[in-house]
Amino acid sequence: FSRLHGSYEALKGGNTTEAMEDFTGGVTEFYEIKDAPKDIYKIMKHAIDRGSLMASSIDDDLGFSYGSAPRSNIGELIARMVKNQENAQMTHSTVDYQGMEERPAWTIVPLQYETRMSCGLVKGHAYSVTAVEETVFKGEKIRLVRLRNPWGQVEWNGAWSDKSEEWDSVNEAEKIRLQHKVAEDGEFWISFQDFMRHFTKLEICNLTPDTLEVDKFQTWTVSVNEGRWVRGCSAGGCRNYPDTFWTNPQYRLKLLEEDDDPEDEEVICSFLVALMQKNRRKERKLGANLYTIGFAIYEMHGTKHHLQKDFFLYNASKARSKTYINMREISERFRLPPSEYVIIPSTYDPHQEGEFILRVFSEKRSLSEEVENMIEAERPLPIIFVSDRANSNKELTADENAGKDGENTQADKKKRSSTKAHEETEEQKQFRNIFRQIAGDDMEINAEELRNVLNNVVKKHKDLRSEGFELESCRSMIALMDTDGSGKINFDEFQHLWDKIKSWQKIFKCYDTDHSGTINSYEMRNAVNDAGFRLNNQLYDIITMRYADKNMNIDFDSFICCFVRLDAMFRAFHAFDKDGDGIIKLNVLEWLQLTLYA
């Protein structure tokens, strides 16, 4: 187990449920004992009978729980106590959550100071629940709970403890049945009443999420989805951040059949959602802490696409986790009518990057899958954007009819189009004059010359803050428009390129609301969609990593470069995909030439 997490040090502190789940693959449910259901004893009894693992703990006065034994370094101990007090004051006083839909729970901090109480119990410490029994005491039935301190010592010293007088009234046969023994081994009995009075949390780890409230054993169906939050792309935070919440990963859940419960007249489906963040303990040595996580569930109908911002602005959630809290896993039971839903797992704050597992357990048949867009683009214009440089005998065009006329080569078409007479607007005349000055008599320009032309034109647009185009961007543009592999483009090709840039410029200005010359990486998703491209989360992640800066902003040059690349690659794919089945086959020469010159 320590090898799995990287070191013994990584096992220090934390939550007992982590070990229980890791060793069993089960799912854990949490109960605040003060808010526990009336039949909590019956639930615990059923859990023991079915081999479930249980743990209970006592919060300290600051609301913290689960830690390790105090070290001998008194200076470090005092520093921790001071820090805890500061955290408590900050949680109550300096953070204003008024008007927010979500509020994070009081943070659970590992490695807190564990305090022994006069009754022998230890605050901020986890105990195993090893048995739940009933016995007769002075003619009345009394409920007992057996606990074990993992230290192997320090036990409860109240009623029903190892040496308490209550055992004097119990006969030997009953003592044998209850396995009562007087030993300082960390295991002891406590009355259920005292258990409820002193302990604050109860955790039950079930190998499957059986309905513990009823006697009948039930089998649930389980679906597992792995995902990740990527900073600047799919780490949108909770619903308090409406501008980015919709970018979180989305998982569709179809509840198909109602529960088999003759006593329940409602048409209801029971299911359990468990959200677990991965590898945070293993990465603790790198400074990683547990994120504050939660999830929301919305009802959706008839769409297989990633839901956009407006949906969440005008639709309330049907269910959600009780709170956002920094535990490795949170789980919640729900009862909803049969329908189609979407689950949105998220961290409390945006821009927090990490991996997670989302598990959904349901009593009846259900379907759970990630909501992903189809990868597609609007139909390319009938212009050749992939030359025959990979194969001199193969004509590759974006138009079905292009290339049928074998009498004209691509070079002939290029010269003919450049000399074609047509009426020009004032802007076109201005472009042609600038183009002629730079291109010379052949009226063709390379990447460096293209950069000069574009930067001269961009300067005339005072409303667009840009430092101009980089040479690499212009090389991509040349590759997009170059149909004969000459490394140059003529005026008509430049004109067509500029028309594209103008349309993309309008999109950029639409999202650059503060006129900073950049747009947020989250807004890039909508911008890409407006430009006619449909991508999935994996591709949005790649765009963010490739084109966004350290502040998750994308400038105009990177924006245009991204769209040029998308346009070129979609056109290349359509040119190779002759039968339209969404699959192409390239040899190594075609692949290298296509990717190197793009």
Tell me which of 15, 84, 149, 248 is the catalytic residue: 149
Tell me which of 5, 125, 180, 306 is the catalytic residue: 125
Give CA–CA dist 324/347, Å, rounded: 8
Give CA–CA dist 244/524, Å, rounded: 11
User: 């290029």: which residue's tokens?
Assistant: 414
The H or E element containing residue 147 is strand 140-148
Six-digit token pair at 253? 């859940």
Query: Annotated catalytic, 15?
Result: no
Q: For 158, phi and psi rounded to 5 degrees?
A: -95, -155
Task: Name the strands in the sheet holding 366-370, side by side, starting at the edge strand that comes first in the sequence.
Answer: 319-320, 293-299, 340-347, 251-255, 366-370
Looking at 6-72, list the stretches that DSSP marks H as alpha helix, in order from N- to C-terminal side. Answer: 16-24, 40-49
Asked if residues 332 and 273 have their Cβ atoms less than 8 Å apart, the reply is yes
Which amino acid appears at position 409 of this protein? T
Query: Annotated catalytic, 496?
Result: no
The H or E element containing residue 29 is strand 27-32
Six-digit token pair at 493? 């090709």
User: 């193969």: which residue's tokens?
Assistant: 394
Asked if residues 340 and 301 have their Cβ atoms less than 8 Å apart, the reply is yes
Q: 297: helix, coil or strand? A: strand
Give CA–CA dist 221/422, Å, rounded: 68
Residue 142's DSSP bridge partners are 135
Give CA–CA dist 39/363, Å, rounded: 21
In the chain, the largest separation of any two C-alpha atoms, in whole Å, equals: 113
Give CA–CA dist 545/92, Å, rounded: 38
Give CA–CA dist 344/250, Å, rounded: 5
Q: Of 531, 530, 527, which is closest to residue 548 (Cα–Cα)?
A: 527
Give CA–CA dist 85/74, Å, rounded: 17
Write the CB contacts of 297 (distance below 8 Å, at least 6 apart in sequence).
Answer: 253, 273, 317, 318, 319, 320, 334, 336, 341, 342, 343, 344
Asked if residues 407 and 399 have their Cβ atoms less than 8 Å apart, the reply is no
The H or E element containing residue 575 is helix 556-576
What is the DSSP secondary structure assignment for residue 552, as one 8-state letter?
Answer: S
Residues serving a catalytic function are 125, 149
